[in-house]
């Protein structure tokens, strides 16, 4: 049977290109650009979708995610993801992606345009001229040449702003704790602390994301530290500036002008700063050019289709990147990692303290972050079937499980293998596995005992003391009860010591058959297992 095509909902205004790409790639798409503003309706239908493509209007809250029972990926056609509750998405196993470069030039250009607009009062002069007033002497501006521009946040957008401002022969200073001296030199700017920037800048432009650390970065106290006559531009996020404090500073004349593209509450239909003669306002237009919207729509649709169709992960904020090629090469290894984790998880019902993962040989050169996530998800799934590789590290952290990874060169007969050791208060359990050239994952060692077990959906794991007659017993009880064995593998520590059997069965073993096996008194453990093959 042909697998069902994944379904994506576009709930904000995206270029038609996105819709076309989804269709061309075989993804079903519903384009409902007004839905981002209708959270009730969105919450009602979100369960039908595997993917949600958004801009800034749709708010992906914990509440919305509760209803998003099939959602696998949120794609933000743009940069800022402050409208997405990423921790809640991670917990639900939903990947959040953005398009980190598609609109940076456009947004940087908007910031430069806004700087010119306040330097020369362009919007007011235009409105006055349209009104037939010809107020030539009213609109006296200032030059940008030789002025100091203070850039707060010199990342992608801030960096482009620095470059353009240097071209305008401005002196550019930047505050960004993560800006290296080397990069500052390359941009032709001077790296300074925030207080120095506030004291020296004639123009200040904000290009930081909105986080708990940056909220109100231009609050009342910091506004008071700015140079009298400063002009402020915000094309990043509302919430970075305290709007009431800015209004007071504009009223007193300490701040000569402000150009704002973003507001604390959006859509901003009323705001304390509206109507102020020295404020230029635009309705979150930073990313609104034909070029940027084409870029972000194309990127988000490709990235989401890749993920839904091939498992490739690009530009995710809560998952390591996995290219389509890696997804293909690593596919069997990711499966194996999940199976090893799953076997470990099914073998224990004690709280887990640590999971140590060893990668040997060729597999140690792969994307270990993705493999780790598969192992952890496998382990935790035994306790909670809703866990997936996105949510697993968050849940493991919440539970205080220590994760450690070791890489080693090829050390034995296998070209590559993964060995996972789980530590509880009472014991350590380890399972190793490999993938042969047929791409089929196999368990090669359990509790230090070598085996060769193909992985199937229904399996049985038994332990016993190595004495004659056990295997016959196992085979005959399963046979008498109509349970067919597809593959049977045995191992023992040494003659007469611990022995294990791993059976791959054609069907799930009924509970009464497990009871019959236990009743023989010959097994230390009889454990039915199940794997997502």
Ligand X SMILES: NC(=O)C1=CN([C@@H]2O[C@H](COP(=O)(O)OP(=O)(O)OC[C@H]3O[C@@H](n4cnc5c(N)ncnc54)[C@H](O)[C@@H]3O)[C@@H](O)[C@H]2O)C=CC1
Q: Which residues of 215-247 are buried (b: 16+ CB within 10 A; e: fewer)?
A: ebbbeeebbeebbeebbbbbbbbbbbbbbebbb
Does 157 contact ligand HPV by CB under 6 A?
Answer: no
Is 284 catalytic? The answer is yes
Does 104 contact ligand X by CB under 6 A?
Answer: yes
Rounded to the nearest angstrom, the gap between the alpha carbon of residue 246 and the centroid of all alpha carbons in its chain is 34
For residues 170 to 209, the per-residue mask of contacts with ligand X, x marking binding by CB under 6 A and - elsewhere, is -----xxxx----------------------------xxx
Contacts of 40 (CB under 8 A, 6+ apart): none
Which among ligand X, ligand HPV, none contacts residue 502 (Cβ within 5 to 8 A by kind)?
Answer: none
Report how far residue 465's alpha carbon sits from residue 375's, in angstroms, rounded to the nearest whole number. Answer: 30
User: In the complex, what is the shortest distance from the CB of residue 195 to ligand HPV, in angstroms, rounded to a whole number?
Assistant: 28
Name which of 318 and 346 has its Cβ closer to ligand X. Answer: 318
Q: What is the dihedral of CA 5, 315, 74, 211, to 10 degrees?
A: 180
In the sheet with 458-465, reading across from the earlier edge strand, the strands are 485-492, 498-505, 458-465, 523-530
Helix (H, G, I), strand (E, B) or coil at 165: helix
- Of 431, 152, 120, 109, give the one whose Cα is nearest residue 291: 109
User: In the complex, what is the shortest distance from the CB of residue 268 to ligand X, in angstroms, rounded to a whole number?
Assistant: 13
Helix (H, G, I), strand (E, B) or coil at 281: strand
Contacts of 342 (CB under 8 A, 6+ apart): 378, 379, 381, 382, 529, 531, 532
Does 42 contact ligand HPV by CB under 6 A?
Answer: no
Selected range binding ligand X among 231-239, 480-488, 502-510, 519-527, rule: CB under 6 A: 231-239
Which of residues 8, 35, 71, 79 is near ligand X by CB under 6 A?
79
Q: Which residue is closest to ligand HPV by CB? A: 78
Does 295 contact ligand HPV by CB under 6 A?
Answer: no
Q: What is the C-alpha radius of gyration for the chain, rounded to an integer number of angstroms? A: 30
Does 158 contact ligand X by CB under 6 A?
Answer: yes
| Residue 202: HSE in the Cβ half-sphere, 13 Å Cα cutoff | 15
Does 287 contact ligand HPV by CB under 6 A?
Answer: yes
Integer CA distances (angstroms), 302 to 17, 21, 27, 93, 297, in order? 10, 7, 11, 20, 9
Is 237 catalytic? The answer is yes
Helix (H, G, I), strand (E, B) or coil at 224: helix
Name which of 28 and 294 has its Cβ closer to ligand HPV. Answer: 294
Name which of 268 and 403 has its Cβ closer to ligand X. Answer: 268
Is 130 catalytic? The answer is no
Name which of 112 and 377 has its Cβ closer to ligand HPV. Answer: 112
DSSP lists the bridge partners of residue 54 as 76
Selected range binding ligand X among 230-238, 307-315, 416-424, 504-512, rule: CB under 6 A: 230-238
For residues 256 to 285, the per-residue mask of contacts with ligand HPV, x marking binding by CB under 6 A and - elsewhere, is ----------------------------x-
Helix (H, G, I), strand (E, B) or coil at 150: strand
Name which of 56 and 445 has its Cβ closer to ligand HPV. Answer: 56
Does 79 contact ligand HPV by CB under 6 A?
Answer: yes
Write down the catalytic residue from 28, 124, 196, 266: 266
Rounded to the nearest angstrom, the gap between the alpha carbon of residue 443 and the centroid of all alpha carbons in its chain is 31
Does 36 contact ligand HPV by CB under 6 A?
Answer: no
User: In the complex, what is the shortest distance from the CB of residue 184 to ligand X, in angstroms, rounded to a whole number?
Assistant: 11
Name which of 263 and 523 has its Cβ closer to ligand X. Answer: 263
C-beta of residue 466 within 8 angstroms of C-beta of residue 492 = yes
Point out which residues bind ligand X (CB under 6 A).
78-80, 100, 103-104, 107, 152-158, 175-178, 207-210, 213-214, 235-237, 261-262, 284, 286-287
Please report, as ranges, the residues that interact with ligand HPV according to CB under 6 A.
Answer: 55-56, 78-80, 103, 284, 286-288
Q: Which residues are catalytic?
A: 237, 266, 284
């Amino acid at each position: 049977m042909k697998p069902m095509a994944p379904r994506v909902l576009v709930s904000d205004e995206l270029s038609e290109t996105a819709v076309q790409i989804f269709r061309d790639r075989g993804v079903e798409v519903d384009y409902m650009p007004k839905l981002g503003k209708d959270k009730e309706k969105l919450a009602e239908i979100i369960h039908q979708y595997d993917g949600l493509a958004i801009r800034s209007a749709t708010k992906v809250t914990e509440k919305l995610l509760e209803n998003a029972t099939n959602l696998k990926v949120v794609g933000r056609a743009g940069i800022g993801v402050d409208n997405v509750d990423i921790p809640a998405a991670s917990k639900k196993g939903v990947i959040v992606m953005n398009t980190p470069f598609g609109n940076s030039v456009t947004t940087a250009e908007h910031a430069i345009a806004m700087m010119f607009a306040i330097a020369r009062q362009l919007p007011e002069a235009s409105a006055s001229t349209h009104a037939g007033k010809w107020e030539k002497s009213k609109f006296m501006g200032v030059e940008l040449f030789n002025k100091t521009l203070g850039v707060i946040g010199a990342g992608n957008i801030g960096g482009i702003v620095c470059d353009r401002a240097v071209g305008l022969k401005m002196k550019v200073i930047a505050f960004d704790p993560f800006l290296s001296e080397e990069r500052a030199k390359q941009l032709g700017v001077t790296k300074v602390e925030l207080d120095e920037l506030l004291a020296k800048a004639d123009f200040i432009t904000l290009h930081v994301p909105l986080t708990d650390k940056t909220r109100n970065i231009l609050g009342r106290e910091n506004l008071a530290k700015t140079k009298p006559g400063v002009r402020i531009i915000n094309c990043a996020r509302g919430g970075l500036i305290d709007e009431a404090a800015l209004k007071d500073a504009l009223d007193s004349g300490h701040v000569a002008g402000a150009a704002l593209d973003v507001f604390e509450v959006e859509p901003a239909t009323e705001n304390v700063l509206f109507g102020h003669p020295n404020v230029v306002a635009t309705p979150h237009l930073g990313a609104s050019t034909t070029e940027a919207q084409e870029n972000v729509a194309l990127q988000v649709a490709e990235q989401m289709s890749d993920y839904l169709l091939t498992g490739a992960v690009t530009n995710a904020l809560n998952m390591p990147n996995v290219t389509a090629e890696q997804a293909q090469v690593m596919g069997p290894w990711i499966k194996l990692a999940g199976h090893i984790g799953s076997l470990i998880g099914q073998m224990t019902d004690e709280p887990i303290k640590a999971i140590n993962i060893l990668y040997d040989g060729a597999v140690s050169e792969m994307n270990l972050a993705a493999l780790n996530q598969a192992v952890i998800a496998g382990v935790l799934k035994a306790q909670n079937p809703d866990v997936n590789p996105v949510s697993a590290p968050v849940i493991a952290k919440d539970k205080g499980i220590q994760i450690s990874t070791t890489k080693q060169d090829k050390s034995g007969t296998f070209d590559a293998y993964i060995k996972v050791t789980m530590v509880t208060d009472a014991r350590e359990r380890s399972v190793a596995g490999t993938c042969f050239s047929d791409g089929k994952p196999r368990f090669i060692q359990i509790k230090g005992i070598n085996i060769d077990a193909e992985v199937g959906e229904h399996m049985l794991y038994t332990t016993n003391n190595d004495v004659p007659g056990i295997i016959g017993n196992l085979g005959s009880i399963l046979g008498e009860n109509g349970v067919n064995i597809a593959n049977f593998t045995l191992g023992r520590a040494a003659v007469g010591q611990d022995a294990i059997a791993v059976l791959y069965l054609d069907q799930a073993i009924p509970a009464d058959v497990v009871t019959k096996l236990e009743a023989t008194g010959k097994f230390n453990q009889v454990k039915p297992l199940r794997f997502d093959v």
